[in-house]
């Protein structure tokens, strides 16, 4: 589906003009978390998506990120833990909310936690390492779209909960960059408002 990585040292094209790639980028839109269903990428297809997603800019080649996947029954088990954690941390939690927590990983056939895994002792700033993890999340969405899958990047409370971090085996230095939900999108999302780019772009000139 995706070309294999060429041998190390192969001279690579610095640009790859493609009308399809331009459309993919210019028209990119997340899927709705309410409209992702089976089928999702198979384990092999997912491995390929993750390989492609990992081709991000990475200062000093630290690969400061990793993936935890939730596929099949693992989502049910994760959901049970989320329900337990939500219940334990929410005084007076209603059973409806606990049920909802259990269902969070079930909203797509495949969920990928992208873990930011910076080396704090390294001279590459942690900020740069974390940005690389963000690039992985976006690259995963784009790779998934290019392969025909819908995807959405969500954090929600799970990404910031210390018990979830412990359950997933994160070290003290690691953080969840996002949960990427992947599957078959049953409908598209409407175009959303976009920023006025003239307010976002400054063409710098030296002070006079
Ligand atoms: C780090 C990060 C975390 C996000 N977490 C959530 C979230 O928890 N819930 C949510 O509805 N959208 C979340 N979003 C936004 C969606 O991923 C998505 O970008 C948004 O719905 C707009 O759609 P678009 O990507 O098609 O522009 C998050 C985005 C980022 C970058």
Alpha helices by DSSP H, listed for the chain, are 19-26, 43-53, 73-89, 95-103, 126-146, 162-167, 197-200
Which atom of ligand 1 is nearest the CA belonging to 156? 8
Distance CA 152, CA 112 (A): 10
Which atom of ligand 1 is nearest the CA belonging to 192? 27
Distance CA 127, CA 124 (A): 8
| Ligand 1 pocket test, candidate residues 137, 144, 152, 175, most atoms within 8 A of CB | 152
Which atom of ligand 1 is nearest the CA belonging to 152? 17
- CA–centroid distance, residue 112 to ligand 1 (Å): 15
pTM: 0.97
Measuring from atom 18 of ligand 1, which residue has the nearest CA?
30
Q: What is the pLDDT along the chain (208 residues), one digit of tens a residue?
A: 899 999 999 999 999 999 999 999 999 999 999 999 999 999 999 999 999 999 999 999 999 999 999 999 999 999 999 999 999 998 888 999 899 999 999 999 999 999 999 999 999 999 999 999 999 999 999 999 999 999 999 999 999 999 999 999 999 999 999 999 999 999 999 999 999 999 999 999 999 9
Measuring from atom 21 of ligand 1, which residue has the nearest CA?
30
Count of positions (residues) in the chain: 208
Provide the CATH topology of domain 29-71+107-187: NADH Oxidase (3.40.109)
User: Which protein residues touch ligand 1 with a CB less than 6 Å away?
Assistant: 29-30, 152-156, 178, 192
């Amino acid at each position: 589906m995706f070309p294999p990585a060429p041998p190390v040292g192969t001279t690579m094209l610095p640009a790859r003009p493609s009308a399809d790639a331009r459309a993919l980028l210019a028209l990119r839109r997340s899927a709705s978390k309410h409209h992702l269903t089976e089928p999702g990428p198979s384990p092999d297809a997912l491995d390929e998506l993750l390989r492609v997603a990992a081709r991000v800019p990475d200062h000093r080649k630290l690969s400061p990120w990793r993936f935890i996947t939730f596929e099949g029954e693992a989502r049910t088990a994760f959901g049970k833990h989320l329900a337990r954690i939500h219940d334990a941390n929410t005084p007076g939690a209603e059973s409806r909310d606990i049920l909802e927590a259990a269902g969070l990983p079930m909203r797509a056939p495949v969920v990928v936690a992208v873990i930011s895994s910076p080396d704090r002792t390294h001279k590459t700033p942690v900020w740069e390492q974390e940005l690389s993890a963000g690039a992985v999340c976006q690259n995963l969405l784009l790779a998934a779209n290019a392969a025909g899958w819908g995807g959405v990047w969500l954090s929600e409370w799970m990404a910031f909960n210390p018990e979830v971090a412990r359950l997933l085996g994160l070290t003290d230095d690691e953080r969840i960059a996002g949960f990427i939900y992947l599957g078959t999108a049953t409908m598209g999302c409407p175009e959303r408002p976009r920023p006025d780019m003239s307010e976002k772009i400054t063409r710098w000139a030296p002070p006079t």
